[in-house]
């Protein structure tokens, strides 16, 4: 069984479980996950469905998950899997059909970074979209190649912008400048979906400069990169992070480098 097949099968199992148990969407475990969020019962169960599939594989995986943290492999691991079992939990809880799950596989080493991701899969739970990114081979949606949008005037661009944080004066002003710099914005509240739609050209960029997004979302930035886009770290450097449980993501993922830098400049500007 190929690596891609294992990843797709694992996410398919999570999706199937969620669909079969929608009556439980508001149930909580009473626990707080490693990233400080309340754990929904379905999130944990979906994660366990993913673990069940990958741990039955002949491939040795260590696994970093959103709900259970780092799970070591009982034998020498060949890959680290980075798993977000339900992205858009608040949507799921409220019955909003914008929910996804994502997974990335990185060949195991002592120096794991986002640059070494070999494969990523993101599956939308309620729309017919499965995205696959293979390093050096681009991105496929439901088996067909997709790419980021062509360059267009900034004032015609539509972006996704994550607003879920405390609205301090600085963040509010930065957000206002950024949104004024484009035509319009969309936000699904499932960042993986927004990143997939950036990778496929539906959106021109996805911005999350809160400094709070858990590292388990790297499958989304990998999609944009492999689809021909550019991912810029908040520091202004090309996006590259160590893959460690306590690392947070803060980035602009855009159709091209010039647009990414334009958006970051708008966010930072003091004028």
Is the distance from CB of 203 to CB of 194 less than 8 angstroms? yes
Average pLDDT over residues 70-90: 91
Report the alpha-carbon distance of residue 262 to residue 32 in Å, rounded.
37
pLDDT, mean of residues 94-115: 96
From CA 188, how far away is CA 96, in angstroms rounded?
9
pLDDT at 153: 97
What does the pLDDT read at residue 30? Answer: 81
Q: What is the DSSP string of 165-226?
A: S---HHHHHHHHHHHHTSSEEE--S-HHHHHHHHHTTSSSEEEEEEEEEEGGGHHHHHHHHH
Percentage with pLDDT > 90 across the chain: 86
Q: CB under 8 Å to 230, separation ≥6 — which residues?
A: 224, 238, 253, 254, 255, 256, 257, 259, 260
CA distances from 59 to 64, 82, 217 (A): 16, 15, 22
Kindly tell me if the per-residue pLDDT of 165 is higher than 90: no
Dump pLDDT digits (tens) for 235-244. 999 999 999 9
Radius of gyration, CA atoms only, the chain: 18
pLDDT at 271: 56
CA-based nearest residue to 148, from 203, 207, 200: 200
Average pLDDT over residues 182-196: 97
Segment holding 251, helix H or strand E: strand 248-254
Q: Mean pLDDT throughout 131-158?
A: 98
Q: Is the pLDDT of residue 1 over 80?
A: no
- pTM of this prediction? 0.95
pLDDT of 66 reads 86
72 has pLDDT over 90:
no
User: Over 80: is that where the pLDDT of 144 sits?
Assistant: yes
Mean pLDDT of 44-62: 94
% pLDDT > 70, the chain? 99
* pLDDT confidence bin for 269, thresholds 50/70/90: confident
- Over 60: is that where the pLDDT of 63 sits? yes
Both tokens of 28, joined, read: 């909580």
Q: What domains appear along the chain, each with residue ranges and CATH number?
A: 3-146 (3.30.540.10), 154-268 (3.40.190.80)
Do 242 and 216 contact (CB within 8 A), yes or no? Answer: no
Task: Give me the residue label for tokens 């912008």.
Answer: 161
pLDDT confidence band for 35 (50 / 70 / 90): confident
CA-to-CA distance for 15 and 130, rounded, in angstroms? 11
What is the distance between the alpha carbons of residues 103 and 143, in angstroms, rounded to a whole number?
A: 17
Q: What is the mean pLDDT of residues 143-148?
A: 98
Q: Which helix or strand (DSSP H or E) is residue 12 part of?
A: helix 3-20
- With both helix axes pointing from N to C terminus, report the angle between 3-20 and 41-56 in degrees, rounded to the nearest 10: 150
């Amino acid at each position: 069984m190929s690596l891609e097949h294992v990843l797709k099968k694992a996410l398919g199992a999570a999706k199937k479980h969620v669909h079969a148990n929608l009556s439980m969407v508001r149930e909580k475990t009473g626990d707080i996950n490693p990233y400080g969020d309340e754990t929904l019962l379905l999130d944990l169960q979906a994660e366990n469905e993913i673990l069940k599939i990958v741990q039955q594989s002949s491939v040795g995986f260590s696994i970093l998950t959103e709900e259970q943290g780092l799970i070591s492999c009982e034998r020498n691991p060949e890959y680290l899997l980075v798993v977000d079992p339900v992205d858009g939990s608040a949507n799921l809880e409220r019955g909003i059909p914008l929910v996804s799950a994502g997974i990335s596989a990185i060949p195991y080493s002592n120096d794991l970074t986002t640059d070494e991701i070999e494969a990523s899969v993101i599956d939308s739970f309620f729309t017919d979209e499965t995205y696959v990114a293979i390093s050096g081979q681009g991105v496929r949606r439901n088996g067909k190649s997709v790419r980021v949008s062509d360059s267009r005037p900034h004032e015609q661009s539509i972006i996704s912008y994550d607003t879920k944080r405390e609205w301090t004066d600085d963040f509010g002003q930065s957000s206002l400048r950024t949104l004024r710099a484009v035509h319009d914005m969309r936000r699904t509240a499932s960042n993986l979906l927004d990143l997939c739609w950036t990778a496929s050209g539906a959106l021109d960029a996805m911005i999350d400069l809160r400094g709070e997004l858990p590292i388990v979302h790297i499958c989304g930035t990998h999609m944009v990169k492999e689809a021909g886009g550019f991912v810029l770290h908040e520091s202004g450097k090309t996006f590259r992070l160590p893959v460690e449980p306590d690392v947070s993501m803060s980035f602009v993922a855009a159709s091209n480098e010039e647009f990414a830098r334009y958006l970051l400049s708008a966010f930072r500007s003091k004028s």
